[in-house]
Amino acid sequence: MKELKFLNKFLYKYRIKLIIGFFITVTARIFALIAPNLVGNSITLIENYVLSSSIDLDVLKERLVINILLIIGSALIAGVFTFIMRQMIINVSRFIEFDLKNIIYKKYQNLDFDFYKNNRTGDLMNRISEDVSKVRMYVGPAIMYTINTITLFIIVVSYMFSVAPKLTMYTLIPLPILSIIIYKISRIINIRSKIVQEYLSKLTTFTQEAFSGVKIIKTYTIEDFTNQKLEKLASDSKNKNMSLVKVQSWFFPLMILLIGISNILVIYIGGNQYMNGQIELGVLAEFIIYVNMLTWPVATVGWVTSIIQQAEASQKRINEFLNVPYKIVNKKNSKLMVDGDISFNNVSYTYKETNIKALDKISFNVKKGESIAIMGDVGSGKTTILELISRVYEPDQGNVYIGGNNISDINLNLLRDSIGYVPQSTFLFSETIENNLKFGKEDASNSEIKESIKIADLTDDINLFKDKYNTLLGERGVNLSGGQKQRLAIARAVIKKPKILILDDSLSAVDTQTEENIISNINNITKNITVFISTHRISTSKNCDKILVINNGNLESFGSHEELMKQKKTYFETYTKQSKEKDLN
């Protein structure tokens, strides 16, 4: 139960409700006990009337009517209290579920990018949905049934012992056996349900992919192939379901069998005792009701045990996530200003997962307001440089300075707020165009929206849409072309009015003319902004103040277009090659 300790602080938080719930449970059980007692009493009265006529028929009738009314009354009260008990304890479990989900989500939001590379989306989703709901079963139903069972057991059994100790002993014998069997069955059910669950998610993933990839399936005419795959998967899933259903079907018959055995024991042993004059007939009737009242709570002992085991396993996984340390932290909460001056001083970076040295002792200085093109082959380290500027990663060696301050001394939120980042692969939310832009600036005005769209050269495209800025994107809305997506992402970065703008190969899907328009728009508005553009196009780099050529993680050259042309190295060769291609067109 070590992992579940984490939840104690929540139980403490809602202690008032839990304590009320506890007392209500005890009261509800006491009232539930009244009914069997009255039944026993009534039968004894009838027996006395029949055997010895010791009471008047009218008196008997009157007392029976009173008993019936009392039984109805106590059942009603027990019912109301049971309702309040559920309201208290099950509600607490919903509150704790809510708290837990918030805590996990908040942790997710603050974790580093590294974490997301090492964990699959499905796992992240499972922690917050499936595992939390398993844990809820522990803080809610498990606790409630435990209180219920213990109070019922103590009250009923001690009462039974006081009335007929020997009979009580015999009737209780099958109950622990019942409890153990239920526990074993629950465990097998859990294991098999888990497998069934896995197959269900395999099936969902498969069908989802088939729907979103329907174009490929049809154009490659692989319908039969995917059909066969689905059939195989579905039939495996069916078999797993059948094996689950088989154990499940043992559950109730076994319970009924054991309850039956208990009843037979009560009738047989109690009947003998009655005939020997050791107990009254009413006691026998009362006991039959008690045995049936006890079986369900006893069965839940086994069920609750398996719930707790599952909750423990789920909470362990949740704790593992909650204990992942933040690698990139705010060392100081200093409000150092972020300024556009940036310098790299002997910066090296190696990716731990692959041991690839992406950057090797890179040094360069950039002044506020300058535009810098970063050029180099695929895999040469362009993205890595840009990610170090926004402190997605931290250098292994050397330092990055922004505005003269070491980047690790700058408040992380302030830093990221000051940077407009357009990543290499665009991601847009399934929202309207306007709302996507508002991810850049929450309170953007209409004119700001229009302006940023204009800078990204997207105005004409949007005017073609019926709903303009309210056009919904994504599956249920419009699918933008690659170039439109990239431009919208640029608008989203520009609207932030960042101090540093980073475009990581963000114009690969637009034509050269559009690219030139956008770059010149950006240069016009960005007198005070430092702009980094990773690109393969000479037409872009030519218009930048500085060009940084990187080759396999090493800085080959850094300087203006004219300077690099004179060096006659990679940049010169690329320029010559691309110019020739342009002439050919």
Ligand X SMILES: Nc1ncnc2c1ncn2[C@@H]1O[C@H](COP(=O)(O)OP(=O)(O)O)[C@@H](O)[C@H]1O
Binding site for Mg ion (CB under 5 A): 382-383, 424
Go through 237-254 and write b for each residue having 16 or more CB atoms within 10 A of its CB, e for each that does not: beebbeebeebeeebeeb
Q: HEC states along 329-347?
A: CCCCCCCCCCCCCEEEEEE
Place of tokens 């932290």: 329
Q: Which does 51 bind (CB under 5 to 8 A by kind): ligand X, Mg ion, none?
A: none
In this chain, which stretch among 377-385, 396-404, 445-453, 463-471 interacts with ligand X, using CB under 6 A?
377-385
Query: Which among ligand X, Mg ion, none contacts residue 85 (Cβ within 5 to 8 A by kind)?
Result: none
**Sequence-ordered alpha helix ranges (H) in 276-340:** 281-322
Q: Alpha-carbon Rg of the chain, whole angstroms?
A: 37
**Shortest Å, Cβ 551 to ligand X:** 10
Instruction: Give the one entry of ligand X, Mg ion, none that residue 358 binds, where binding means its C-beta sits below a cut-off of 5 to 8 angstroms depending on kind.
Output: ligand X
- As to burial, measured by CB atoms within 10 angstroms (0-12 exposed, 13-18 middle, 19+ buried), residue 394 is middle
Shortest reach from residue 354's CB to Mg ion, in Å: 15
Q: Which is nearer to Mg ion, 426 or 432 (CB)?
A: 426
Distance CA 224, CA 257 (A): 50
What residue is closest to Mg ion based on CB?
383
Among 358, 449, 453, 529, binds ligand X (CB under 6 A): 358
The residues, ordered by sequence, that sit 6+ positions from 190 with a Cβ below 8 Å of its Cβ are: 306, 310
CB of 353 to ligand X, least distance (A): 5
Q: Is 378 in the site for ligand X (CB under 6 A)?
A: yes
Q: 3-class DSSP state for residue 551?
A: strand
Residue 475 C-beta: closest distance to ligand X, Å: 28
- By beta-carbon proximity to ligand X, the closer residue of 436 and 506 is 506
Rule CB under 6 A: say whether 354 interacts with ligand X. yes
Query: Among residues 117 and 527, whose Cβ is nearest to ligand X?
Result: 117
For the segment 520-579, give every residue that binds ligand X (CB under 6 A): none
- Return the structure tokens found at 585: 């067109």
Residues pairing with 559 in the sheet: 547
> Residue 376: which of Mg ion, ligand X, none does it interact with, CB under 5 to 8 A by kind?
ligand X
Distance of closest approach, residue 107 Cβ to Mg ion, in angstroms: 29
Instruction: Return the range that interacts with ligand X (CB under 6 A); candidates 70-78, 222-230, 330-338, 379-387.
Output: 379-387
Edge to edge, what strands does the sheet with 342-351 contain? Answer: 356-366, 342-351, 397-402, 405-406
Taking the CB of residue 86, how many other CB atoms lie within 10 A of it? 16
Tokens representing 158 are 């001690």
Among 58, 353, 460, 475, binds ligand X (CB under 6 A): 353
**Does residue 355 interact with ligand X by CB under 6 A?**
no
Q: Which of 270, 376, 420, 483 binds ligand X (CB under 6 A)?
A: 376
List phi, psi (to 5°) of 193.
-65, -35
Q: Which does 176 bind (CB under 5 to 8 A by kind): ligand X, Mg ion, none?
A: none
Whichever of 115 and 170 has its CB closer to ligand X, that residue is 115
Compute the distance between CA of residue 375 and CA of residue 354 in angstroms, rounded to an integer: 23
Q: At what angle do helices 57-110 and 15-52 cross, to 10 degrees?
A: 160
CB of 384 to ligand X, least distance (A): 3
Cβ 77 vs Cβ 95: under 8 Å:
no
Distance CA 328, CA 412 (A): 9
CB of 357 to ligand X, least distance (A): 8
Residue 118 interacts with ligand X (CB under 6 A): yes or no: no
Residue range at the interface with ligand X (CB under 6 A); choices 128-136, 274-282, 333-341, 381-389: 381-389
CB of 505 to Mg ion, least distance (A): 6
381 binds, among ligand X, Mg ion, none (CB under 5 to 8 A by kind): ligand X
Q: In this chain, which stretch among 205-213, 349-357, 362-370, 443-451 interacts with ligand X, using CB under 6 A?
A: 349-357
Angle between helices 174-212 and 165-172 (to 10 degrees): 30
Question: How many of the chain's residues bind ligand X (CB under 6 A)?
Answer: 14
Alpha-carbon gap, residue 504 to 492, rounded angstroms: 14
Exactly one of 127, 382, 492, 561 binds ligand X (CB under 6 A); which one? 382
Which position among 105, 220, 326, 351 is part of the footprint of ligand X (CB under 6 A)? Answer: 351
| Between 130 and 360, CB nearer to ligand X | 360
Q: Which of Mg ion, ligand X, none is residue 58 near (CB under 5 to 8 Å by kind)?
A: none
In the chain, the amino acid numbered 307 is: I
Amino acid making up residue 99: D
Establish if 383 lies at the interface with ligand X (CB under 6 A).
yes
Q: How far apart are CA 502 and CA 492, in angstroms?
A: 12
Residue 380 found at the interface with ligand X (CB under 6 A) = yes
Cα torsion 440, 445, 450, 452 to 10°: value is: -30
Subset of 140-169 contacting ligand X (CB under 6 A): none
Looking at beta carbons only, is 378 or 464 nearer to Mg ion?
378
Instruction: Please tell me the distance from the alpha carbon of residue 315 to that of residue 131, in angstroms, as a whole number.
Output: 7
Buried b / exposed e across 464-473, counting CB within 10 Å, b at 16+?
A: eeeeebebeb
Provide the minimum distance between the beta carbon of 378 and ligand X in the complex, in angstroms, as a whole number.
5
473, HSE (Cβ side, Cα atoms, 13 Å): 20
Instruction: Please work out, in degrees rounded to the nearest 5, the angle formed at the alpha carbon of residue 90 by the alpha carbons of 252 and 186.
Output: 30
Shortest reach from residue 415's CB to ligand X, in Å: 20
Kindly tell me which of 58 and 353 has the beta carbon lying closer to ligand X.
Answer: 353
Q: Which of 174, 381, 483, 498 binds ligand X (CB under 6 A)?
A: 381
Binding residues for ligand X, per CB under 6 A?
A: 117, 351, 353-354, 356, 358, 376, 378-384
